[in-house]
Amino acid sequence: MKGAQAVVECLVEEGVEIVFGYPGGMILPLYDALYDDTRIQQILTTHEQSAAHAADGYARASGKVGVCIATSGPGATNLVTGIATAFMDSIPLVAITGQVDTTLLGRDAFQETDIIGVTMSVTKHNFKVKDPKKLISTLRLAFQTAKSGRPGPVLVDVPRDLFLQRLYLKHRQQVRYLLSQPLIF
């Protein structure tokens, strides 16, 4: 299966029912895979910032991890305020951003942005996936990180070509994490 289809399978295994986002060039393969699979509802927002805030609100209301999706460059940077809000309030959130193809990384390609550097201070952890064999294990680790310990946002930056490459997905049973409840004195 292609990387984008494997990402959708991984999201389903992680219990994701709804994703929030705004499509753009570098994330379109993932949107195509989401369109072809009816198990996850897509909420199309009018702006990437709305996607991050909606994922935050969804996580607060449902007790699940919120998921938002954006393309590279300005799409990814538009997520920052919502990610920062989730970080300050310890809300589990996974942001998946598209990035330019791996062959163009570091070459100042159109809309290439160092979103890892931009969000480092407002996330629990950031991942930039460059190896297609590590795409799914990294995404699984992102969900584990978002939910474990003090919950918070995790960003996974994925070059577009990884969504298009063929890879093998080893299915696993869904893992459920109980989110800690705040102490009230």
pLDDT of residue 176: 56
Helix, strand, coil in percent for the chain, rounding step 5: 45, 20, 35
55: exposed, middle or buried (Cβ count in 10 Å: 0-12, 13-18, 19+): buried
Predicted TM-score (pTM) of the model is: 0.90
State the CB neighbour count (10 A cutoff) for residue 102: 17
Q: Return averaged pLDDT per consecutive 10 residues of the chain, 185 residues in all.
A: 94 97 95 96 97 98 97 96 98 96 75 88 96 94 97 97 87 56 53
pLDDT of residue 16: 98
State the CB neighbour count (10 A cutoff) for residue 117: 9
Residues 75, 150: Cα–Cα separation, whole Å: 27
pLDDT of residue 113: 86
pLDDT of residue 110: 75
Residues 136, 156: Cα–Cα separation, whole Å: 11
pLDDT of residue 111: 77
Indicate the SS3 state at residue 93.
strand
Look at strands 66-70 and 18-21 and give their pairing.
Answer: parallel
pLDDT of residue 118: 95
Question: Containing H/E element for 135?
Answer: helix 135-147
pLDDT of residue 153: 98
Indicate the SS3 state at residue 10.
helix
Contact (CB, 8 A) for 71 and 24: yes
Domains by residue range for the chain, with CATH? 3-164 (3.40.50.970)
At 17-60, the pLDDT tens digits run 999 999 999 999 999 999 999 999 999 999 999 999 999 999 99
Q: How far is CA 108 from the centre of its chain?
A: 23
pLDDT of residue 83: 98
Residues 176, 84: Cα–Cα separation, whole Å: 25
